[in-house]
């Protein structure tokens, strides 16, 4: 009855013929919007309890969230694609996009970066998966248990664990919890599955019984052994069990992203795919995720989508390699809970390596940061941009980075004034 149906969970997005699924969230309850969804054209509403609309319009289930997850699992079981599950504190979206870029959309399905949760993942499978032989799925974790749920929907043949950092450490309940939660992707892969994990001793110690390959910088089965920037390209050398590989990307990739490419090479080998590496060379980083553009001979790094200590560390390191002088416009790292002060103190130390720091959107989190390189603190994008324009000279590099909620993209947009490289 739901074959080829399109599912919607927000009544405002309902359209003719769609199926509206009423979910109970923290803020509101989808059951309150069933009528609205039907008025907007939904042909049916999946609900947990009766709602005052014609009965033939309702499909009653015990748990609407579980219904969505089961429907997605069944759809995957029907087509039985090779599933690559990707998790980690940093780099999920970019790694997934790289694999997808190489395989192409005829061969591979991937879920969008914002549909990587227990609701988003099933929705994207149900609405957009067309039976391709590979499903490259990014799986996000807020707390232990999340990845297990995602693996029940899409049990990976290949489980990729990129790294275990400190992102969302306040929500997850600490670093041990983050490690535990992320390891679920290895624990919940298929019996005959194989894991590809960062060669981090904390991870390796916990997965001894499993079948796995490792990757890393100078370490692991698949390793990045050197990299350099030339004009606007990145040349990286890898050593793998299948031999040495050289990749010349036509973009600037940072060290973290280059290490993740080692995992991508491992995925191709494990799947038995002989991928033409020139495909990888044409990959362009995703907007907001360490995407470097050149404007008026200045390297501008758009890393506005998110922030964690690890991704800041990598960004600063790369920035110093790129520019004659290195500046950053920064905002706070969110979801750090009781660790917030500690995180921002550490951030201050990382930023000491730069030539100057401008702080945007002063909140109590970033206010705890001490750094002798701070030139300006302001809530006004205009003030930040004016100061930057006075500071920057040709060949400099400037980074824009903060957690999503800070809205750093507003400053970047104003700075670029419509310009793109």
Write down the H helix ranges in 22-141: 34-39, 64-79, 92-103, 120-128
Say how far apart CA 124 and CA 324 lie, in whole Å. 43
Neighbours of 410 (CB within 10 A): 16
Single out the segment in contact with ligand ADP by CB under 6 A; choices: 5-13, 21-29, 90-98, 222-230. Answer: 90-98
User: 87-107 burial string, b = 16+ CB within 10 Å, else e?
Assistant: bbbbbbbbbbbbbbbbbeeee
Q: How far apart are the first and last CA of the chain?
A: 49
* Site size with ligand ADP, rule: CB under 6 A: 22
Residue 124 touching ligand ADP (CB under 6 A)? no
In the shown chain, the binding pattern of residues 128 to 167 toward ligand ADP, with x for contact by CB under 6 A and - for none, equals: ----------------------------------xx----
Contact 162, 93 (CB under 8 A): no
Residue 113 touching ligand ADP (CB under 6 A)? yes
Residue 293 has which token pair? 């553009």
Within positions 12 to 51, which residues make up the interface with ligand ADP, using CB under 6 A? none
Per DSSP, 81 falls in state P
Residue number with CB closer to ligand ADP (125 or 258): 258
Among residues 69, 94, 166, 234, the one that binds ligand ADP under rule CB under 6 A? 94
Among residues 65, 75, 92, 110, the one that binds ligand ADP under rule CB under 6 A? 92
Residue 335 touching ligand ADP (CB under 6 A)? no
Neighbours of 413 (CB within 10 A): 15
Q: How far is the CB of 355 from ligand ADP (least distance, A)?
A: 20
Within positions 270 to 329, which residues make up the interface with ligand ADP, using CB under 6 A? 289-290, 303, 305-306, 310-311, 314-315
Residues 6+ apart with CB under 8 A from 28: none
Residue number with CB closer to ligand ADP (65 or 92): 92
| DSSP-based helix, strand, coil % in the chain, nearest 5 | 40, 25, 40
Within positions 339 to 378, which residues make up the interface with ligand ADP, using CB under 6 A? none
CA distances from 349 to 63, 269, 281, 307, 344 (A): 48, 40, 34, 16, 9
Neighbours of 391 (CB within 10 A): 16
SS3 348: helix
Residue 220 touching ligand ADP (CB under 6 A)? no
Q: How far is the CB of 122 from ligand ADP (least distance, A)?
A: 19
Write down the H helix ranges in 129-168: 146-153
Residue 254 touching ligand ADP (CB under 6 A)? yes
Residue number with CB closer to ligand ADP (7 or 249): 249
Single out the segment in contact with ligand ADP by CB under 6 A; choices: 21-29, 220-228, 249-257, 409-417. Answer: 249-257
Residue 257 touching ligand ADP (CB under 6 A)? yes
Q: How far is the CB of 190 from ligand ADP (least distance, A)?
A: 23
Q: How far is the CB of 167 from ligand ADP (least distance, A)?
A: 7
Residues 6+ apart with CB under 8 A from 17: 6, 41, 42, 43
Residue 335 has which token pair? 């979801």
Residue number with CB closer to ligand ADP (92 or 334): 92
Residue number with CB closer to ligand ADP (85 or 256): 256
Q: How far is the CB of 338 from ligand ADP (least distance, A)?
A: 22
Residue number with CB closer to ligand ADP (14 or 185): 185
Give the residues lining the site for ligand ADP (CB under 6 A).
90-94, 113, 162-163, 254, 256-257, 259-260, 289-290, 303, 305-306, 310-311, 314-315
């Amino acid at each position: 009855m739901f074959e080829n149906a399109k599912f919607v969970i927000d009544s405002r997005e309902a359209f003719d013929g769609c199926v509206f699924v009423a979910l109970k969230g923290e803020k509101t309850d989808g059951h309150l919007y069933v009528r609205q969804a039907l008025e907007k054209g939904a042909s049916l509403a999946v609900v947990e309890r009766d709602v005052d609309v014609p009965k033939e319009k309702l499909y009653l289930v015990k748990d609407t969230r579980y219904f969505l997850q089961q429907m997605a699992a069944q759809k995957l079981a029907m087509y039985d694609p090779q599933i690559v599950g990707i998790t980690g504190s940093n780099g999920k979206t970019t790694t997934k996009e790289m694999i997808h870029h190489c395989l192409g959309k005829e061969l591979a399905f991937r879920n969008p970066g914002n549909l990587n949760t227990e609701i988003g993942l099933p929705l994207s499978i149900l609405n957009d998966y067309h039976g391709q032989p590979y499903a490259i799925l990014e799986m996000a974790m807020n707390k232990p248990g999340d990845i297990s749920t995602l693996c029940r929907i899409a049990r990976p043949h290949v489980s990729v664990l990129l790294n275990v950092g400190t992102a969302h450490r306040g929500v997850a309940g600490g670093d041990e919890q983050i490690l535990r939660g992320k390891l679920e992707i290895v624990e919940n892969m298929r019996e005959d599955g194989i894991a590809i994990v960062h060669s981090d001793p904390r991870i390796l110690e916990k997965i001894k019984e499993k079948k796995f390959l490792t990757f890393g910088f100078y370490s692991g089965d698949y390793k990045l052994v050197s990299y350099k920037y030339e004009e606007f390209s990145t040349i990286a050398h890898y050593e793998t069990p299948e031999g040495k590989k050289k990749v010349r990307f036509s973009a600037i990739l940072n060290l973290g992203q280059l290490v993740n490419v080692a995992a991508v090479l491992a995925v191709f080998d494990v799947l038995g795919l002989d991928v033409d590496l020139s495909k990888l060379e044409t990959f362009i980083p995703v907007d907001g995720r360490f995407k470097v553009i050149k404007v008026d001979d200045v390297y501008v790094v758009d890393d506005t989508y998110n922030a964690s200590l690890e991704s800041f560390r990598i960004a600063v390191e790369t920035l110093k390699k790129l520019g004659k002088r290195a500046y950053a416009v920064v905002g706070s790292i969110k979801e750090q809970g009781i660790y917030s002060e500690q995180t921002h103190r550490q951030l201050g130390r990382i930023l000491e390596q730069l030539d100057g720091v401008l702080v945007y959107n002063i909140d109590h989190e970033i206010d705890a940061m001490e750094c002798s390189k701070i030139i300006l603190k302001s809530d006004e994008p205009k003030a930040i941009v004016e100061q930057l324009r006075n500071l920057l000279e040709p060949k400099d590099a400037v980074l824009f980075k903060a957690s999503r909620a800070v809205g750093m993209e507003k400053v970047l947009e104003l700075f670029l004034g419509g310009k793109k490289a």
